[in-house]
Amino acid sequence: MMESEENAAKNAHSSEGSDRKPICVIVLGMAGSGKTSLVQRVTNHLYAEKCNPYVINLDPACIEVPYPANIDIRDTVKYKEVMKQFGLGPNGGIITSLNLFATRFDQIMKLIDKRKAEHKYVVFDTPGQIEVFTWSASGQIVTETLASEYPTVIVYVMDIVRNLNPITFMSNMLYACSILYKTKLPFLVVMNKVDIVEHKFALEWMKDFDAFQAALESDPSYSSNLARSMSLVLDNFYKNLNVVGFSAVNGDGVNEFFDAIEKCANEYEKDYRPEYLRIKKEAEEAKKVERKRELSSSTSRDELITFGEPETSYDIEDEYEEMYEEEKREYEEFRRQFNLDKKPSVNK
């Protein structure tokens, strides 16, 4: 009896695990912000917790990755060969490599689906040049394809040391805002390198408008005035923004990081997934209408060239008989007018 209960519990647990979908974490950030170091720290933490992640490297130009990657774009696309073959520069080579990789992303989705019961997190490390992924067609394909099937979270890594200047901070937050509105997915700002500089000043600037204005007082330039105006616009953006401090060097804030990821995943299920399902349903309905229209159009063309018996039958012999009688009458009238029926006289 006890064994049967244990087996039932194991079966229930395995079925629950098979139904659960992993959380896809897409790590973005400016060059030098510490994206790859963050992925390494997060990966090490998950392995230490016996929660093995599924890690995918999307940077074709990196020399090596400091973490075990389950899928590496470099195994599929040779970055330098792409540059040589198409005559491209570094950024063009990265974009083209990503585009080539994105054409086979359906295969990546199948691999993730096969492993979804074994992994709770799927972590994506993106290229160092953030615009290469964020504003490219391949980046959009990857992001939207993942979000259509799995809880997907965008992690924006920010170098807090470089953002001590309020104008630089404002520029970074504007960029974060633009990514949020482009992806329309749960968004987490990770203020990295808190082992060097605490991120309390940044949190204060986000929560207290006057504190940010005071930081701008020492700079009378036009950019300072612009930042002052933009801070009013971003006030509502800050209120709903998920922010954590993090150190990729010593792991400070790693627990808060995963708490924020879980919160974002819940936001996805509550707010974002219904919207994606609605958009997906509308797209499918539009395809059905288009297929129906094309089918109707092709049916109309087929009707014009249909061979076979006509719908309204008639007797062709009757038609020819009427034509013969009419011609016969016309001929008799012709003979009558010219007295062709009169017998010619015979001279004796």
Q: Which domains does the chain have, with CATH numbers?
A: 19-272 (3.40.50.300)
Judged by DSSP in three states, 309 sits in coil
For the sheet containing 23-29, what is the strand order?
Answer: 71-72, 54-57, 121-125, 23-29, 152-159, 187-192, 242-246
Strands of 85-202 (E only): list them.
121-125, 152-159, 187-192
CB atoms within 10 A of CB 119: 18
Element (H, E) at 72: strand 71-72
Mean pLDDT by 10 residues, the chain (348 residues): 42 47 96 94 96 96 93 94 93 94 94 94 93 91 93 97 92 92 94 96 91 82 76 83 96 96 94 82 86 77 54 54 68 63 50
Q: What is the spatial distance between Cα 61 and Cα 289, in angstroms, rounded to a whole number? A: 44
Give the predicted TM-score (pTM) of the model.
Answer: 0.76
What residue type is 9 in one-letter code? A
Cβ contacts of 199-203, under 8 Å, gap ≥ 24: 199/160, 199/245, 201/164, 202/160, 202/163, 202/169, 202/243, 203/243
DSSP assigned state of 54: E
With H, G, I as helix, E, B as strand and everything else as coil, classify residue 29: strand
CA 165 to chain centre: 34
The per-residue b/e assignment along 2-28, b for 16 or more CB within 10 angstroms, e otherwise, is eeeeeeeeeeeeeeeeeeebbbbbbbb
Residue 41 in tokens:
């720290």
- Tell me the CA distances in angstroms from 54 to 10, 67, 218, one per residue in order: 24, 11, 47
Q: How far apart are the C-alpha atoms of 129 and 28, rounded to whole Å? A: 9
Amino acid in position 290: E
Q: Are 46 and 174 in contact (CB under 8 A)?
A: no
The single residue listed with the structure tokens 């995918």 is 56
Closest CA to 241 of 296, 291, 172: 172
Which of 66, 67, 59 lies closest to 90 in space, CA to CA?
59
pLDDT of residue 210: 86
Question: Do the beta carbons of residue 74 and residue 58 sit within 8 Å?
Answer: no
162-169: list long-range contacts, CB under 8 Å, 24+ apart: 163/191, 163/202, 164/197, 164/201, 166/205, 166/212, 166/215, 166/216, 166/219, 166/224, 166/227, 167/216, 167/219, 167/223, 167/224, 167/227, 169/202, 169/205
pLDDT for residue 334: 62
